[in-house]
Amino acid sequence: MQFEPVIGLEVHAQLKTKTKIFCGCSTEFGKSPNANTCPVCTGMPGVLPVLNKQVVSFAIKAALATNCKINQESRFDRKNYFYPDLPKGYQISQYAVPIAEHGYLEIESEKAGPIKIGITRIHMEEDAGKLIHDPARAKSMVDLNRAGVPLIEIVSEPDIRTPRQAGAYLRKLHAILRYIDVCDGNMEQGSFRCDANISLRPRGQKEFGIRSELKNLNSFKNVEKAISYEIERQTYVLEEGKKVIQETRLWDPSKNKTTSMRGKEEAHDYRYFPDPDLVPLIVDDNWIQEIEKELPELPDEKRSRFVKEYKLADYDAKVLTSSIELADFFEETAEPLKDKKQAANWVMTTLLGMLNTKGISIKKSLITAKAFSKLLLLIENGKINANAAKTVFEEMVETLKSPEVIVKEKGLEQVSDQSELEAMVQDIINENPDEVTAYRDGKTKLFSFFMGKIMKKTRGKADPKIVTQLLKTKL
Interaction site with Zn ion (CB under 5 A):
23, 25, 38, 40-41
Contacts of 473 (CB under 8 A, 6+ apart): none
For residue 218, which phi and psi values (nearest 5 degrees)?
-105, 20
CB of 158 to ligand ADP, least distance (A): 4
Q: Check if the beta carbon of residue 94 is closer than 8 Å to that of residue 123.
A: yes
User: Is 359 exposed, middle or buried (CB count within 10 Å of its CB: 0-12, 13-18, 19+)?
Assistant: exposed
CB of 103 to Zn ion, least distance (A): 31
Q: Check if the beta carbon of residue 207 is closer than 8 Å to that of residue 216.
A: no
208's contact among ligand ADP, Zn ion, none, with CB below 5 to 8 A by partner kind, is ligand ADP
40's contact among ligand ADP, Zn ion, none, with CB below 5 to 8 A by partner kind, is Zn ion
- Considering the complex, state which of residue 208 and residue 236 has its C-beta at the smaller distance from ligand ADP: 208
- Considering the complex, state which of residue 3 and residue 449 has its C-beta at the smaller distance from ligand ADP: 3
Q: Which of 78, 172, 193, 211 binds ligand ADP (CB under 6 A)?
A: 211
CB of 6 to ligand ADP, least distance (A): 4
- Considering the complex, state which of residue 26 and residue 120 has its C-beta at the smaller distance from ligand ADP: 120
63 binds ligand ADP (CB under 6 A): no
For residue 263, which phi and psi values (nearest 5 degrees)?
-95, 180
- Considering the complex, state which of residue 96 and residue 366 has its C-beta at the smaller distance from ligand ADP: 96
Q: How far is CA 35 from CA 39, 148, 337, in A?
A: 12, 13, 50
Q: Which residue is nearest to ligand ADP (CB)?
A: 8
Number of residues that bind ligand ADP (CB under 6 A): 14
9's contact among Zn ion, ligand ADP, none, with CB below 5 to 8 A by partner kind, is ligand ADP
CB of 297 to ligand ADP, least distance (A): 28
* Cα of 129 vs its chain's centroid, Å: 26
For 409, other C-beta atoms within 10 Å of its C-beta total: 12
**Closest residue by Cα to residue 150 from 121, 183, 110:** 183
CB of 40 to Zn ion, least distance (A): 5
Q: Which of 81, 83, 208, 315 binds ligand ADP (CB under 6 A)?
A: 208
Q: Check if the beta carbon of residue 22 is closer than 8 Å to that of residue 56.
A: no
| Site track 6-45 with ligand ADP (rule: CB under 6 A), x = hit | xxxxx-----------------------------------
- Considering the complex, state which of residue 49 and residue 158 has its C-beta at the smaller distance from ligand ADP: 158
198 binds ligand ADP (CB under 6 A): yes
Contacts within 8 Å (CB) and 24+ apart, 454-460: 454/421, 454/424, 454/425, 454/428, 455/387, 457/424, 457/428, 458/415, 458/424, 460/385, 460/387, 460/388, 460/391
- Considering the complex, state which of residue 37 and residue 222 has its C-beta at the smaller distance from ligand ADP: 222
Residues 173, 185: Cα–Cα separation, whole Å: 10
79 binds ligand ADP (CB under 6 A): no
- Interface with ligand ADP by CB under 6 A: which residues? 6-10, 155-158, 197-199, 208, 211
